[in-house]
Amino acid sequence: MGKNKKILVENINYSPSFLEPFWENGFCELCLDLGHLMLGQEKVMDLVKQYLDITQEIHLHGVKGYREHLSLSMLPKNLVHKWLKYLLTTSFKGVVNLEVFCPRDLEESMDIVLETFSLAAKGVKGQGHNFRVQVSDLSVDIEYPPGIPPNNPA
């Protein structure tokens, strides 16, 4: 594998703790699926904080009952805002993948993501962040907050 290639393992409806031996040995890094954590009745924010240093990609989607990959509008909006605002306060430079599979769910989810950035930008000072939102084969780089250059250490 090339220098910049990584193997990511994803949690599927459970805590990623059983995968720890893989990344402790340098074999891979984590794709943390927040929807899967919710389906597994896990404490999402606690696990995001615990595993953020080895997380390269976050899958974000709504869940309802046992259905997944739904619009973020299926979740309490304040919860989604809390998760995204937390990521914006960290050094996370990975990908947030909106893992939804229909145009309406994508549109609703993007509205919630952009609303979060708008609300969070009101209290932001100093350097900005690069935040990559990916949907299927489409990636969009979002400058956050708008007009503030990203902090890119050399």
pLDDT tens-place string over residues 112-133:
998 887 776 665 544 455 556 6
In this prediction, residues 135-140 reach a mean pLDDT of 50
* Token output for 138: 């489409």
CA 127/CA 148 separation, integer angstroms: 6
Q: What is the pLDDT of residue 1?
A: 45
First to last CA, the chain: 24
Query: Is residue 108's pLDDT more than 50?
Result: yes
User: What pLDDT does 153 receive?
Assistant: 37
30: number of Cβ within 10 Å? 23
**CA contacts within 13 A on the Cβ side of 38:** 22
Angle between helices 77-88 and 103-121 (to 10 degrees): 60
Both tokens of 135, joined, read 């949907």
Strand 55-60, strand 29-33: pairing: parallel
Residue 62, pLDDT score: 96
